[in-house]
Each structure stands twice: as structure tokens, then as C-alpha cells.
Amino acid sequence: ETGVTQSPTHLIKTRGQQVTLRCSSQSGHNTVSWYQQALGQGPQFIFQYYREEENGRGNFPPRFSGLQFPNYSSELNVNALELDDSALYLCASSGSGGALETQYFGPGTRLLVL
């Protein structure tokens, strides 16, 4: 059984640029959630995708957007990067997008915005 994978592992961008992060969900999972973890903080929920539809969103601006594909992999896109976007971005997959589902996390993508 393959776990959650993310790419790239590290990324450096400059302010104003756009970035795309990718996540492959664990086998058998159809739900992907994205979290931002700033240095020294706990992860903050960005949004969740269930069967290619957004299924909940945290307190993040519209320049944070996402996609989920038919194979349940997902992308997180961030436009107009700001310095405060520097963080570890974590993807988690779970079974069905309903309540009580355990989320399993990938290793994350560390983004540095200069």
C-alpha cells in the first residue's frame, strides 16, 4: 500500500510568483486535505477536496486554490506569493470525506518565498 506522497520536497520562489504543489493520496482514499504549517506553529487547514469538489475551506485568501483529479491526486496553487507564505505545506488523505475519517499525512513540501 502506497502512502501519501508530495512533490517537490523543497521549493524556492520570489514574491509575486505562482507555485503549484502536488499530492498523491494513499491507495483507496478519495479525499485530500491541505494544511499550511508555519515555522513553530501547528498546521492550519487550507481546504479539502472530495471527489474533485471543494469540501470545506479554512481562513485563506482566494489566491490559494486547488484541484483534485479523477485519480484523487491533488494540486495546491498559490498565486501572487507573499513572504508569509513561506511554510511547510502538508497534504493529507482520508477515506471518504465524511466525518470521523482519520487523515494520513505526507512528508510535506517546504516552500521558501524570498
Partner 1 sequence: AQSVTQPDIHITVSEGASLELRCNYSYGATPYLFWYVQSPGQGLQLLLKYFSGDTLVQGIKGFEAEFKRSQSSFNLRKPSVHWSDAAEYFCAALTGGGNKLTFGTGTQLKVEL
Query: By the criterion CB under 8 A, which residues form the site for partner 1?
Result: 4, 6, 31, 33, 35, 40-45, 48, 50, 55-56, 58, 90, 92, 97-108, 110
The residue (of 40 and 62) whose beta carbon lies closer to partner 1 is 40
Length of the chain counted residue by residue: 114
In angstroms, what is the minimal distance from the CB of 16 to partner 1? Answer: 27
Q: Which is nearer to partner 1, 67 or 88 (CB)?
A: 88
CB of residue 13 vs partner 1: minimum separation in angstroms? Answer: 19
15 vs 50 by CB, closer to partner 1: 50
Q: Which residues pair with 53 in a beta bridge?
A: 50
Residue 92 to residue 46: CA distance in whole angstroms: 11
Cell of 91: 497534504
Instruction: Please state, in angstroms and as integers, the Cα–Cα distance from residue 97 to each residue in 3, 72, 77, 101, 114, following that order.
Output: 17, 12, 21, 7, 35
What's the min distance (Å) between Cβ of 41 and partner 1? 6
Q: Which amino acid is residue 25, in one-letter code?
A: S
